[in-house]
Structure 1
């Protein structure tokens, strides 16, 4: 199998690592493998807390991927990241076209984006993504790529994602210690949104909510582009923890109760039957009815969703949202779609899946929410990065170098 055709991703989750391997065939990703391992001793809230422990798990997972796929040698990965250290903002840039012909070139586009990304950052932070939203030419908006147009003043608005340098470096060190290298750090919600939202949803206005174990991530699209993104330190772990605390039972038993019998809205419980569970001593059996279990779950679900609503209202993004797509393991809690519809008063709520136009998943066992982000990251170098690079490829450096070479030739001729 040609090494150049293979793409590998590692999604660094709240407290787990998920790997996906895909093959680029005729500009379409075919998923060859997906797997996941818990790493509670190495990760917390998406932050590396034990490099040695996490390195061992990364190595095991990637070696397992090599064995499962066969005839491949993984050397580098695209790393999906998340956590409270991730921040984002929108910024505006202006550039005056200096030439008399006023024809806008790729160099001009490059320059205006450079102006837009020229933000003040503390020493401990770095830019991860700069995503152009739109361009304006002489105050007229709506240009996706203004190269070839004529104008005096070129403007752009960009979505900038930043992260803590130390946390990013710790992820790089972890993967290096495992014997691999990082091709790029990628904010996980970006490729996830790009691969699960349809073009119509991006245009009309849609929010994606990715409910993880300890982190819930959101991104809002409108007019075809990402307008807002945010990570919140609340997730399905906190729901499980509430059950464990209320019933005084082991965490794993609480998680089993939540996944099998839990729900977010009592009205969807068809029959209020009793559920048997194991108490803290792991021998005594006790019972609880489904309605009572639901009452332990509802407050935390409402807290998570109300926190999201408060954040998007504070950032004046609510008016963009005409539909909601939910992903992540936490989204599988029964009735989550109805709870979201109720809190946000939006009827159009659906579960996300990888867009088959870009990604092929032949093995049904990989059609699982816990693999969706890692699988979506596979699309980044094939579909997403080339779209960004069209704006960041400038002829300035190459032309300057060529002029310098010609000057030397003339000097010594």
Structure 2
């Protein structure tokens, strides 16, 4: 295998259902698909790692598949993180630029204002994942997105702080290390999925990204181009499958298959005449049931999910800010009728969000369940370009200072 660590990016999505690894290369500033690996997850439960050894084995298998397809060896990776332990909080802080006269705002001033806003009291077990400025306020003038170069006396910032459990994050890092990978960064799953599925217009008008995973549903709200709210709902696609397994007395595997092929979250959309065959548990004879019974089991769970989601958005003060509606992604969004339930309970238009395809990327990855994986890659690439531009600007300023002193 060849090895090009300088122009390769590897990202990892360790979900409760699947463990995914994606490798891409940067060619003339653009991303191009190189390889991927997807295997069944082991050792994960409710969005967090419960057993290190099987989780590390799953990651190692997925990484080996990706490396084989990419014909390259990876040493570092970026890992997405989610689960019920992820929480978001809004904060505000600022700095005085001088009481006597106004002066120009520098990048260091912006960082100082953000540092002041982030200095809130957090429990010792919390780790900051993202600092997301919502807007800057210059001399009480709000709505500023980039104050650098402007002139004023006082700079303030409204900041959204995404945090996670420090132990859950460390478990991800340890798991990757046991698989021979070094974690260079963690990205919140909601932000990653949004990166791959939302347009700039949707972010500006106000939109809620709903990522329905296996055990949890991540949500993130954008308004006026910035993150306004993040949260996690403790219901995912596996809860729907488990309801079917219990209600129909069938195995979890058959329940998942029935959900995918015959499930519907709106029972009135199912024909009253349609029937399906159930194999049932070992030792029992196959039997026929009305397909509507499947919908009668799935619809209450779907409505519960969106009731909880609506209450969360209302408590966050963003329920009325969804001018562009909501976008559903993740494997759980594939259930027929989910769009109808979302539109009925949230009272806004809804659509399914599939990730933007990379150059040469197979269709297998251009699906809603891969939005977090592809989005983590896109987010990493975009932020690395911004950091490189900042470093270049800083070096140019330093060269000008030293040139002027000669």
User: Same fold judged by TM-score > 0.5?
Assistant: yes
TM-fit CA distance, 1:111: 0.5
Distance in 2 (alpha carbons) for counterparts of 1:201 and 1:388 = 25
TM-fit CA distance, 1:381: 2.2
Out of 92-101 and 203-212, give the one that drifted further.
Answer: 92-101
> Match of 1:201?
202
Q: SS of 2:151's equivalent?
A: coil
Find 1:18's aligned residue among 17, 20, 24.
20
| Residues 1:75 and 2:75 aligned together | yes
> Match of 2:139?
138
> Match of 1:257?
258
TM-score by length of 2: 0.91
Out of 53-62 and 362-371, give the one that drifted further.
Answer: 362-371
Unaligned runs of 5+ in 1: 407-413
> Match of 1:330?
332
TM-fit CA distance, 1:338: 1.1
- Structure having greater relative contact order (Cα 8 Å, sep ≥ 6): 1
Distance in 2 (alpha carbons) for counterparts of 1:153 and 1:391 = 23
> Match of 2:294?
293
> Match of 2:53?
52
Distance in 2 (alpha carbons) for counterparts of 1:278 and 1:335 = 25
State whether residues 197 and 371 of structure 2, in contact with CA within 8 Å, keep that contact through their aligned partners in structure 1: no
Distance in 1 (alpha carbons) for counterparts of 2:392 and 2:259 = 49
Does the C-alpha gap of structure 1 residues 361 and 89 become closer, same or farther in structure 2, counting only changes over 3 Å? Answer: farther
Distance in 1 (alpha carbons) for counterparts of 2:69 and 2:317 = 47
Distance in 1 (alpha carbons) for counterparts of 2:393 and 2:31 = 29
Distance in 2 (alpha carbons) for counterparts of 1:233 and 1:242 = 15
Q: SS of 1:194's equivalent?
A: helix
Does the C-alpha gap of structure 1 residues 247 and 83 become closer, same or farther in structure 2, counting only changes over 3 Å? Answer: same
> Match of 1:186?
187
Distance in 2 (alpha carbons) for counterparts of 1:339 and 1:392 = 47
Q: Deviations over 1:195-244 (max 9, x none)?
A: 21100000001111111111111111110111101111101111111111
> Match of 1:374?
373
Distance in 2 (alpha carbons) for counterparts of 1:173 and 1:312 = 34
Does the C-alpha gap of structure 1 residues 393 and 25 become closer, same or farther in structure 2, counting only changes over 3 Å? Answer: closer
State whether residues 79 and 186 of structure 1, in contact with CA within 8 Å, keep that contact through their aligned partners in structure 2: yes
Does the C-alpha gap of structure 1 residues 229 and 282 become closer, same or farther in structure 2, counting only changes over 3 Å? Answer: farther
> Match of 1:345?
347
Q: Deviations over 1:48-90 (max 9, x none)?
A: 11111111111111011111121x1110110001011111111
> Match of 1:86?
86
Q: Deviations over 1:366-400 (max 9, x none)?
A: 222222211110112211355478889997xx99x
Query: 5 Å matches for 1:76-225?
Result: 76-98=76-98, 100=101, 102-225=103-226
Distance in 2 (alpha carbons) for counterparts of 1:216 and 1:191 = 14
State whether residues 112 and 156 of structure 1, in contact with CA within 8 Å, keep that contact through their aligned partners in structure 2: yes
Distance in 2 (alpha carbons) for counterparts of 1:362 and 1:12 = 20
> Match of 1:231?
232
TM-fit CA distance, 1:282: 5.7
State whether residues 361 and 367 of structure 1, in contact with CA within 8 Å, keep that contact through their aligned partners in structure 2: no
Unaligned runs of 5+ in 2: none
TM-fit CA distance, 1:38: 2.0
Out of 72-81 and 20-29, give the one that drifted further.
Answer: 20-29
Segments ≥4 residues shifted beyond 3 Å? 98-101, 359-362, 384-395
Distance in 2 (alpha carbons) for counterparts of 1:35 and 1:268 = 36
TM-score by length of 1: 0.90
Distance in 1 (alpha carbons) for counterparts of 2:193 and 2:380 = 13
TM-fit CA distance, 1:39: 2.3
Q: SS of 1:360's equivalent?
A: coil
Distance in 1 (alpha carbons) for counterparts of 2:389 and 2:272 = 57
Q: SS of 2:202's equivalent?
A: helix
State whether residues 110 and 391 of structure 1, in contact with CA within 8 Å, keep that contact through their aligned partners in structure 2: no
TM-fit CA distance, 1:271: 6.2
Distance in 2 (alpha carbons) for counterparts of 1:317 and 1:391 = 32
State whether residues 131 and 388 of structure 1, in contact with CA within 8 Å, keep that contact through their aligned partners in structure 2: no
Count of residue correspondences = 395
